[in-house]
């Protein structure tokens, strides 16, 4: 079956702009996770959804970052007033218990 | 923050040789997982080992876990050029599968 998909693959924006990153999880997976990976580092947790609700958003770096999952499937990560330090690969994963399946990521570049 | 630390940071071997990567972590865990990442994009799940397991095999992969030392190792036997990738260990400490990753080991297998 289809894996986790993320759009866009790449996003270039200017400092101060607003961006939305989309994640389509594997059908039937109730848990969804967002991670951010900077160059040379491992992924770092941002937020975890169980169904429609954010069960843990402790990884969001500040209030410019927000994520939603209104119908319990597709999720959107929203970044307001982007900064150059937000440049990274944003990874989404979905899971049944234990094993997380990752999408290909969105590479965000803030100029 | 990074929970795990992989060692070595980089490893270069010839095809046919074995590759061993180590991971140390800081807090108690429910399970530990190893992932592979090609070209800085999506992560591929390799193997999961639970905290009550000591060793697990999957094809050419062998993972060990020593909870008393808070460490794990990943052995890839008879390596191939296609094994060239970054390898990450990830721990699940919170009980709902939010993963904490190390910085990874970059493996280069030369033909």
Q: What is the pLDDT of residues B5-22, one digit of tens each?
A: 888 999 999 999 999 999
Nearest to B41 among A93, A99, A104 (CB): A104
Is the CB of A37 inside 8 Å of chain B's CB atoms?
yes
* CB-CB under 8 Å, A101 with B96: no
What was the pLDDT predicted at B70? 94
Residue B1 has pLDDT above 60, yes or no: no
Q: What is the mean pLDDT of residues B64-81?
A: 96
Res B81: pLDDT: 96
Q: Which residue has the tokens 């429609």?
A: A52
What's the pLDDT at A90? 97
What is the C-alpha radius of gyration for chain A, rounded to an integer number of angstroms?
A: 13
Average pLDDT over residues B66-71: 95
Phi and psi, residue A85, nearest 5°? -70, -10
Q: What is the pLDDT of residue A5?
A: 96
Q: What is the pLDDT of residues A64-86, one digit of tens each?
A: 999 999 999 999 999 999 999 99
Q: Which of A42, A51, A101, A106 to mutate to test the interface with B (most CBs of B within 10 A)?
A: A42
Can you tell me the distance from the alpha carbon of A11 to that of A37, in angstroms, rounded to the nearest whole number?
15
Q: Which of A41, A89, A103 sits opposite B103 (nearest CB)?
A: A41
Put simply, whether B100 touches A (Cβ < 8 Å) is: yes
Residue A54 neighbours by CB under 8 Å, 6+ apart: A47, A48, A67, A69
pLDDT at B41: 75
pLDDT at res. A1: 55
Q: Do A102 and B43 make contact, defined as CB atoms within 8 angstroms?
A: yes
Report the pLDDT averaged over residues B60-86. Answer: 96
pLDDT for residue B39:
79
CA distances from A108 to A25, A60, A88, B2, B61 (A): 20, 16, 5, 22, 33
Q: What is the pLDDT of residue B30?
A: 87
Question: Mapping DSSP to helix (H, G, I), strand (E, B) and coil, where does residue A37 land?
Answer: strand
pLDDT tens-place string over residues B31-56: 899 999 997 678 999 999 999 999 99
Locate all alpha helices (DSSP H) within chain A, ordered by sequence.
none
The residues that bridge with B33 in the sheet, in sequence order, are B48, B90
Partners of B105 on chain A (C-beta within 8 Å) are none
Are B48 and A95 within 8 A, CB to CB? Answer: no
Region B87-95: mean pLDDT is 84
Nearest Cα residue in chain A from B33: A99
Is B73 part of the contact surface with chain A (CB cutoff 8 Å)? no
In the block, tokens 């033909």 appear at B111
Predicted local confidence at residue B7, as pLDDT = 86
- The predicted structure's pLDDT at residue A96: 76
Residue of chain A nearest B31, judged by CA positions: A98
Cis peptide leading into residue A57 (ω within 30°): no
Contact between A16 and A10 (Cβ < 8 Å): no
Q: Is B96 on the interface with A (CB under 8 A)?
A: yes
Q: Do residues B72 and B17 touch, judged by C-beta distance below 8 A?
A: no
Question: CA distances (Å), A84 to each of A13, A63, A92, A104, B16, in order?
Answer: 10, 16, 21, 22, 43
Cβ contacts (< 8 Å) between A55 and chain B: which residues? 96
Render each residue's pLDDT in chain A as its tens digit; 111 residues: 589 999 999 999 999 999 999 999 999 898 999 999 998 899 999 999 999 999 899 999 999 999 999 999 999 999 999 999 999 999 999 997 778 999 999 999 999
A residues 55-94 lying closer than 8 A (beta carbon) to B: 55-56, 89, 91, 93
C-alpha dist (Å) from residue A92 to A14, B11, B38, B53: 23, 28, 16, 28
Task: Write the burial class of residue A91 (CB in 10 Å: 0-12 exposed, 13-18 middle, 19+ buried).
Answer: buried
């Amino acid at each position: 079956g289809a894996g986790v998909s993320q759009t866009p693959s790449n996003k270039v924006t200017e400092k101060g702009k607003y961006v939305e990153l989309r994640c389509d999880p594997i059908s039937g997976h109730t848990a969804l996770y967002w991670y951010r990976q900077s160059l040379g580092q491992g992924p770092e947790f941002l937020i975890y959804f169980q169904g429609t609700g954010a069960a843990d958003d402790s990884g969001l770096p500040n209030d410019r970052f927000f994520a939603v999952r209104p119908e319990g499937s597709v999720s959107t990560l929203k970044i307001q007033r982007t900064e150059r330090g937000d440049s990274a690969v944003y990874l989404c994963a979905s899971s049944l218990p234990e094993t997380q399946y990752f999408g290909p990521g969105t590479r965000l570049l803030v100029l | 923050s990074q929970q795990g630390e992989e060692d070595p940071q980089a490893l270069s071997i010839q095809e046919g040789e074995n590759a061993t990567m180590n991971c140390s972590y800081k807090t108690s865990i429910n399970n530990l997982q190893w992932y592979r990442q090609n070209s800085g994009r999506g992560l591929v799940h390799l193997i999961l080992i639970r905290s009550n397991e000591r060793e697990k095999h999957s094809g050419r992969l062998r993972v060990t876990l020593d909870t008393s030392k808070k460490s794990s190792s990943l052995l890839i036997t008879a390596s191939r050029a296609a094994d060239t990738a970054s390898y990450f260990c990830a721990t699940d400490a919170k009980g709902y599968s939010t993963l904490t990753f190390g910085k990874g080991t970059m493996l280069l297998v030369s033909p």
